[in-house]
Chain A
Amino acid sequence: MGTENPGRPGFPARPASSPFAAAPQTATPFSSTGAVAGSDPPPFRPTAMPPPPQAPSPFSSSGPPVRPGVPGFRPAPTGTFNDPSLPPPQPPIANAPPAAGTFQRFPPPPFSSSAQAPLQQRAPFVGQPSIQQSASQPPSFPEPPQPQTPFVQMGPPPQSTSPAPMGSNVPTPTYQPSFPGYARMQQPPPVHSSFPPNQGNYGPPPAAASSPFLPHQGGYAPSPAMAAPLGMQPPGSGPPIGGIQGLTEDFNSLTVQTRPGTMDPLFDAKELPRPLDGDVEPKNLDDMYPMNCHPRYLRLTTSAVPSSQSLASRWHLPLGAVVCPLAEPPEGEELSVVSFAPASVVRCRRCRTYVNPYMTFTEAGRKFRCNVCTLLNDVPSEYYAQLDATGKRVDLDQRPELTKGTVEFVAPAEYMVRPPMPPVYFFLIDVSISAVRSGMIQIVAETIKSCLDELPGFPRTQIGFATFDSTIHFYNMKSSLTQPQMLVVSDLDDVFVPLPDDLLVNLSESRSVVESFLDNLPSMFQDNVNVESAFGPALKAVFMVMSQLGGKLLIFQNTLPSLGVGRLKLRGDDSRVYGTDKEHVLRLPEDPFYKQMAAEFSKFQISTNVYAFSDKYTDIASLGTLAKYTAGQVYYYPAFQSAIHGEKLRHELRRDLTRETAWEAVMRIRCAKGVRFTTYHGNFMLRSTDLLALPAVDCDKAFAMQLSLEETLLTTQTMYFQVALLYTASCGERRIRVHTMAVPVVTDLGEMYRLADTGAVVSLFSRLAIEKTLSQKLEDARSTVQLRIVKALKEYRNLYAVQHRLANRMIYPESLKFLMLYGLALCRSMALRGGFGDVPLDERCAAGHTMMVLPIKRLLKLLYPSLIRLDEYLLKVDLKSIERRLPLTMESLDSRGLYIYDDGFRFILWFGKGASPEIAKNLLGEDFAAELSKAALSEHDNEMSRGLVRVLEKFRNSDRAYYQLCYLVRQGEQPREGFLLLTNLVEDQMGGNNGYSDWMLQISRQVQQ
């Protein structure tokens, strides 16, 4: 663990530096990092590094040539540009001058052909982030600019290491991340009326100063849009000299207007930012650290770690990470599995960091320096490889662990405490009368049977069943039997397990018995009239069966537990409790039995998934606890009816059974000394201060954690995070999945905002808010969200308040432009919305449990679902309309249209009043005029209906974690329309909830106070 390392405060040289010595020229390229790094020289300066000899060579060259072209601008001191880059002397390049000027701002873009040459030279550089190099350089140079130096540097240095062809000059998309303003420029918000659209960013007075750059744009920017970014750099990043950049605006802003006729301020609703493209994964570090793991595995709330505690305390948003260790890679992308056998996994001796691309090899390959703790380790003899002339290992291309941020190691025996367990599935099914009536048993039995072939881990998979009503029934499925034997345990006070050996059987051996059991299960209890539920005792009995191996326990529960230990009572129907200090108790488990069981389950590697179906109160708060501490999941189907919800249950259960699962896993996230992860949020149990116990984990679970600085000052320029998940794969192999990420350490708050990631921030926010609802009122949880957003924006505003005229404007960083909307959506989400009457208690708790595990992308979709107009597509008027997401407001709904609302968990089809009856007839068949609540959507024999089914299928396939059931609603059909759709239009004001523009106004007022 990073924390273990002894501090090396004074340590001047980066581990990577050694390779450079060999080839001095290589070093220069890094400067290119300038893009990111260069833009903010100040952050890196703290490290006192002897400037490399070549350092002085500066690129700034561009200075003089440029100026002439730009008579109007005040001559910018060359110093401005130089800090970031140190290009090696290059032959002069024709386009150099223009590029140079720009290059500071856009490091990456410049790669014109000329850039190429230098890039290749960089090759020697192994994995090392270029940033450090640049840091070493003196921030500004007095020397005259040299034309040749050019922007070569602009190229992202890290790329050099990557095999990707550098030659092609950077495609436009590359830039996007680095420039906050870029996206905005393409559609300049009307707000900025005061600024010319093109250079909108410059405030009028400062404009003159910044202008020098403008002329250059043409040179490098492929598209006119690029021009905008120039002005957008955070002031902090600018060279020390120039207040220049400080004067340009690198933030987004909204102007408060005045409502015509009155003095009420308001925002123009059309200008408010909306995440209509869904989640955008951060790419800002791709250039700087190309060997980082993909953001789908690990995302930080800001990809810039503050260098000091004081800086961290000014960042009012959560500082942390969201990890989804098993996220599904896109089709065709395979993880590399590395085996070190017969040797052990290569790790740093001191901090136990796994070998990763940022480790540097020295002394002819005999030693490697740990990137996290900088300790010089011996390379195990089996792992030895020579270094080539550039300091790279000769076998680099056969070593995925040295080139990729995500790899999987095969763990040798020392990573096992027992032989790897087989996949175990145990089903605990409620067979009381309500379960029978709902048809749940039938569907569950059918689905399990259909999945038997696809259960992971054949032929080792084990399976077992138990059912319960007022007694507990076990089934002996020994392979020698032809029919399963039912064993009834009716002593609930002293539960025992009959035949402990034959209740959990190997699936491939007992296949026929299992199948005949599943065939008979629905009919066995057909006439059951038992209304009781001995859930607690059944749970204890199952625990006894499973505790030998662990595994996955799926609970199908339909009746509130009423007998024996763990019995629960109706609660939550008292509206008076809401708003008092007792309110949160409703969302906590009522009986400590559930927490104790959860802890026991976790200890014995049992993961619990709870499927709840009741139409009455079923205390998800208590049952969900079982899932919460065992890395499980809660599925809630209120008032389950097999005819309506059957398909959803079938898909979700199938997904649960067949997705790749990691068994008996533990996860730890390591980081370098000075920083420590302190709190963890999600479904797991902590086994020690930083070790997450995950009895079974899969691709649909994400975990969030917050970090804090332990040292007042960080002396390194790069912080490394490494997530390691040690687990047993279904095939029986013990594996370690390792994700490594490097991020810069910065000294500037503006830079932290620039590199912020809204998705991760929102994900952490929602987990914190939901945890807050467990100890406080809903109201408090909501106001905390708002308060933190306000604080963050206030701090951000203070950064700029001095240089800019900000009156009547609300400013926010480009990277966080959707934060306010997501904050609003979070406060209006099922888990936090309203009070007693707004959401039934069970649904609220289920939503809370679900949101605690959702990966970022799905969470954002749930918070801000997509609303898409369908009729134009179905009528083939406008085939593109299906890709256009609309703002979630009543105004988007045209009464002549047909719309689909998709939050990832359900579809809502909204039929406008004025929609042509043709559409409804085609889609719904003859009974289209009937009540839509009873109508079911099925495929009819016409083009339009088939088209709709295809569309729904396409949406479902885009994310298969949940199955979206389709609800139909007609405009004006109250109250159905209200609770299905209208309350979810988060931008509209609804009851006591704010609309988007009111919310923004409220925040903006508080920020300016």
Chain B
Amino acid sequence: MGWKLFFWLVICFPTSIALLATTFYQVLILSDLESDYINPFDASSRINYFVLPEYIVQGALCVLCLFTGHWFMFFLTLPVTCYHIMRYVKREHLIDVTEVFRGLNAERKFRLAKLVMYLILLIVVIFRLTLIGIYYLGIETDDDPASFW
């Protein structure tokens, strides 16, 4: 049981929050760029700074879910992982400062979609955490933990 709590509380929860935050930050920068609050050089270097860490964290989470047998979580994170791998293989994962504006809309749409995915992920994680919380609390009142899992 300790592992379960550890997995959800210490691994999944902070990870999904971090993913959500970086993506949100990237979307924000892209919007700023469009409305000319930031120049393309700064914008792309700021976004590019986060791209690889995000890919690694997201990929690690996906693999971890696979190996720990959390199939639902695995399938939830799989599409984004595949998308990341595809971008990386095509060497399109970094923002190209010379052509930022050409792909601006597409980039933002993809990131918004990712944002939604991460949000769902976070909701699922919170839901699981809640269940676990209820379970632990339930131990005191009820001796049948199996009813939940």
What is A's interface to B at a CB cutoff of 8 Å? Answer: 592, 595-596, 598-599, 602-603, 629, 679, 685-689, 691
Contacts and interface: CB of A to CB of B under 8 A. Distances in A.
Given A599-B41, A603-B41, A686 B101 contact: yes
Contacts, number: 30
B102 A689 contact: no
B98 A689 contact: no
B42 to A, nearest CB: 10
Contact of B96 (A595, A602, A679, A687): A595
Nearest to B41: A603
Given A599-B98, A602-B98, A686-B100, 4 more contacts: A629-B98, A685-B98, A686-B101, A688-B39
Contacts of B40: 685-688
Contact of A598 (B91, B98, B102, B104): B98
A920 B33 CA distance: 64
Contact of A688 (B36, B91, B97, B98): B36
A603 B39 CA distance: 10
B54 interface: no
For A602, A679, A689, the residue with the greatest tally of chain B CB atoms inside 10 Å of its CB is A689
B34 interface: yes
Contacts of A686: 40, 100-101
Contacts of B97: 595-596, 599
Interface of B: 33-34, 36, 39-41, 91, 96-98, 100-102, 104
A266 to B, nearest CB: 43
Q: Which 10 A-B pairs have the closest CB atoms?
A: A688-B36, A599-B97, A686-B101, A629-B98, A599-B98, A595-B98, A603-B41, A689-B101, A685-B98, A689-B34
Contacts of A603: 41
Nearest to B44: A599
B96 to A, nearest CB: 7
For A599, A602, A679, A691, the residue with the greatest tally of chain B CB atoms inside 10 Å of its CB is A599
Contacts of B39: 687-688
A164 B91 CA distance: 61
Contacts of A679: 102
A596 B99 CA distance: 11
Nearest to B36: A688
Contacts of B36: 688-689, 691
Nearest to A600: B41
A602 B104 CA distance: 19
Nearest to B105: A678
A680 B60 CA distance: 40
Nearest to B39: A687
Contacts of B96: 595
A689 B36 CA distance: 7
B91 to A, nearest CB: 8
A596 B97 CA distance: 8
B90 to A, nearest CB: 11
Contacts of B100: 686
Contacts of A685: 40, 98
A487 B112 CA distance: 53
Contacts of A595: 96-98
B99 to A, nearest CB: 8
20 contacts: A592-B91, A595-B98, A596-B97, A598-B98, A599-B41, A599-B97, A599-B98, A602-B98, A603-B41, A629-B98, A686-B40, A686-B100, A686-B101, A687-B40, A688-B36, A688-B39, A688-B40, A688-B101, A689-B101, A691-B36
Contacts of B101: 686, 688-689
For B41, B91, B97, the residue with the greatest tally of chain A CB atoms inside 10 Å of its CB is B97
Contacts of B98: 595, 598-599, 602, 629, 685
Contacts of B34: 689
Contacts of B104: 689
A599 B99 CA distance: 10
B10 to A, nearest CB: 38
Contacts of B91: 592
Contacts of A629: 98
Contacts of B102: 679
A803 B41 CA distance: 57
Contacts of A691: 36
Nearest to A685: B98
A689 B43 CA distance: 13
Nearest to B37: A688
A607 to B, nearest CB: 14
A686 B34 CA distance: 11
Nearest to B101: A686
A418 B102 CA distance: 29
A603 to B, nearest CB: 5
A603 B33 CA distance: 16
A257 B100 CA distance: 51
B108 to A, nearest CB: 13
For A592, A595, A629, A685, the residue with the greatest tally of chain B CB atoms inside 10 Å of its CB is A685
For A602, A679, A686, A687, the residue with the greatest tally of chain B CB atoms inside 10 Å of its CB is A686
A620 B121 CA distance: 47
Contacts of A602: 98
A687 B33 CA distance: 10
A89 B125 CA distance: 83
Contacts of A592: 91
Contacts of A599: 41, 97-98
A679 B96 CA distance: 16
A602 B40 CA distance: 11
A685 B97 CA distance: 9
A603 B44 CA distance: 13
A602 B41 CA distance: 10
For B33, B41, B98, B101, the residue with the greatest tally of chain A CB atoms inside 10 Å of its CB is B98
A602 B100 CA distance: 14
Contacts of A687: 39-40
A592 B97 CA distance: 11
Nearest to B96: A595
A176 B132 CA distance: 84
A679 B41 CA distance: 19
A288 B96 CA distance: 44
Contacts of A596: 97
A599 B97 CA distance: 7
Nearest to A595: B98
A596 B45 CA distance: 11
A928 B96 CA distance: 56
A316 to B, nearest CB: 22
A479 to B, nearest CB: 35
A596 B41 CA distance: 10
A595 B34 CA distance: 21
Nearest to B97: A599
A592 B40 CA distance: 17
A595 B95 CA distance: 12
Contacts of B41: 599, 603
Contacts of A688: 33, 36, 39-40, 101
A580 to B, nearest CB: 16
B51 to A, nearest CB: 14
B28 to A, nearest CB: 17
A689 B32 CA distance: 11
A629 B36 CA distance: 19
B43 to A, nearest CB: 10
Nearest to A594: B98
A596 B95 CA distance: 11
B49 to A, nearest CB: 15
Contacts of A598: 98
A766 B96 CA distance: 24
A688 B30 CA distance: 11
Nearest to B91: A592
A603 B45 CA distance: 13
A592 B100 CA distance: 15
B114 to A, nearest CB: 23
A598 B97 CA distance: 10
B95 to A, nearest CB: 11
Nearest to B34: A689
A602 B98 CA distance: 9
A677 to B, nearest CB: 11
